[in-house]
Amino acid sequence: MTKLMEWIFVAGALGAIWLALLTNKIENIFVKDYYQLLLFSPIIFIVLFGIYALIIVLYRVFTFNNCNEAADELQKEIQEAKVDLQRQGFYFKEH
Amino acid sequence: MASVDKYSILLPTYNEIDNLPIIIWLIIKNMNASGFSYEIIIIDDGSPDGTLEAAQQLQKIYGEDKIVLKPREKKLGLGSAYIHGIKHATGNFIIIMDADLSHHPKFIKEFIETQKSHNYDIVTGTRYKGTGGVHGWDFKRKLISRGANLLTQILLRPGVSDLTGSFRLYKKDILEDLIKSCVSKGYVFQMEMIVRARQKNYTIGEVPITFVDRVYGESKLGGSEIVQFATALLYLFATT
């Protein structure tokens, strides 16, 4: 099953339950008391998920490791490499 | 370290005259220190800047057993460069990495040890986990990268934290098989490779890597890269 099929399958199943509750095919007391909440629950869910995703992304952006040490180390190694390569007869092309 | 394993490091190059000598020097230094058996296969796609001549000089210094040159006439794409390199590889493992110094060869030893610890089919470097990270990215670049990564994680659930990274170790036959099943071009090719690997139930290990964005030359992330990425994501979403 492709990821697309999985998503359609799960969305379809949840949608069917939602619709059945909304149209009172599955009768229960909760639906009567919280009809509005149920009606807008897909939108509420999407908005909440969006906020969650945004928080996660921003957190990960701000905690993204900058690797300054790795960059400094590399600069030193580049100089070291140039000296050593020239010593071994490597000719660096001028440009 | 007694081991019959040999690691063929594939370096596709195009106009890397400044970076090539440095990356080769770093690979030689780190691989000699690690004690593993290896070779470096340079696949230059007809660089006009003289990358091939620099590679020939390096081959003279380090020897034909360590540095193998397999140039091609012109740019023919990453997948075909790997195929071309694999054909001439004598190792049973293939390591792919960028020649632009964004990937540091010191991590290869960790890749190999991680592979050995679980007999993984693939070990991939990750910028998004543990001590991994990126140097030289601004806020916008990080935001796009993290956003795209989360979206991919949600849609594809690949089980791998860094999909577009191109610092990886593969068992040779598995790399051959994966390249045959991939259709993408450019950098999204790496994403398709790892997603297809998951689909085929290959085992994948991860090693956190530091990524130092291009020291010489420039790195780009423009509108066309984003479109390529989105297209590849939807394609993989619908087909895997």
For chain B, the domains span 6-239
Q: What does residue B136 show for φ and ψ, rounded to 5 degrees?
A: 95, 15
Tell me whether residues B211 and A84 touch, CB distance under 8 A: no
Mode of pairing for the β-strands spanning B133-135 and B210-212? parallel
Please give the span between the terminal C-alpha atoms of chain B, in angstroms, as a whole number: 40
Label each residue of chain A as H, E or C: CCHHHHHHHHHHHHHHHHHHHHCCCCCCHHHHHCHHHHHHHHHHHHHHHHHHHHHHHHHHHHCCCCCHHHHHHHHHHHHHHHHHHHHCCCCCCCC
- Residue A52 sits at the chain B interface (C-beta within 8 Å): no
Tell me whether residues A67 and B139 touch, CB distance under 8 A: no
Residues of A in contact with B191 (CB under 8 A): none
- Residue A74 sits at the chain B interface (C-beta within 8 Å): yes
The position carrying tokens 């296969």 is B41
- pLDDT of amino acid B184: 85
Tell me whether residues B61 and A90 touch, CB distance under 8 A: yes
Residues of B in contact with A77 (CB under 8 A): 22, 26
B contact test, residue of A45, A57, A83 with most B CBs within 10 A: A57
Question: Is the model more confident about A29 or about B68?
Answer: B68
Point out the residue among B21, B132, B237 whose CB comes nearest to the CB of A81: B21
Residues forming beta bridges with residue B67, ordered by sequence position:
B40
- pLDDT of amino acid A32: 81
Point out the residue among B50, B136, B210 whose CB comes nearest to the CB of A93: B50
- Residue A83 sits at the chain B interface (C-beta within 8 Å): no
- pLDDT of amino acid B185: 80
Look at residue B180 and give its three-state secondary structure.
helix
Residues of A in contact with B26 (CB under 8 A): 77, 81
Point out the residue among A66, A84, A93 whose CB comes nearest to the CB of B133: A66
Instruction: Annotate B52-89 with b (16+ C-beta within 10 A) or e (fewer).
Output: bebbebbbebbeeebbbbbbeeeeeebbbbbbbbbeeb
Task: Provide the token pair at B154.
Answer: 């949600």
Size of interface A-B (CB pairs under 8 A): 92
Q: Render each residue's pLDDT in chain B as its tens digit; 240 residues.
A: 456 899 999 999 999 999 999 999 999 999 999 999 999 999 999 999 999 999 999 999 999 999 999 999 988 888 889 999 999 999 999 999 999 999 999 999 999 999 999 999 999 999 999 999 999 999 999 999 999 999 999 999 999 999 999 999 999 999 999 999 998 887 789 999 999 999 999 999 999 999 998 766 556 677 888 898 999 999 999 999
- Residue A64 sits at the chain B interface (C-beta within 8 Å): yes
- pLDDT of amino acid B215: 64
**What number is the average pLDDT over the span A38-62?**
96
Distance of residue B218 Cα from the nearest chain A Cα, in angstroms: 16
- pLDDT of amino acid A1: 83
Min mean pLDDT across A25-29, A41-45, B128-132 is at: A25-29
Question: Is the model more confident about A95 or about B233?
Answer: B233
Amino acid in the structure at residue B31: M
Q: What percent of chain A has pLDDT over 90?
A: 79
- Residue A84 sits at the chain B interface (C-beta within 8 Å): yes
Q: Which residues, at least 6 apart from B223, have a Cβ–Cβ distance to it below 8 Å?
A: none
The domain defined by B6-239 carries CATH number 2.60.40.10? no
- pLDDT of amino acid B12: 95
Tell me whether residues B146 and A90 touch, CB distance under 8 A: no
Tell me whether residues B150 and A57 touch, CB distance under 8 A: yes
The interface predicted TM-score (ipTM) is: 0.88
The length of chain B in residues reads: 240
Sheet strand arrangement including B37-44: B67-69, B37-44, B6-13, B93-96, B168-171, B122-126, B204-208
Mode of pairing for the β-strands spanning B93-96 and B168-171? antiparallel
- pLDDT of amino acid A26: 77
Distance of residue A46 Cα from the nearest chain B Cα, in angstroms: 13
Q: Would you say B171 and B122 are in contact if contact means Cβ atoms under 8 Å apart?
A: yes
- pLDDT of amino acid A25: 79
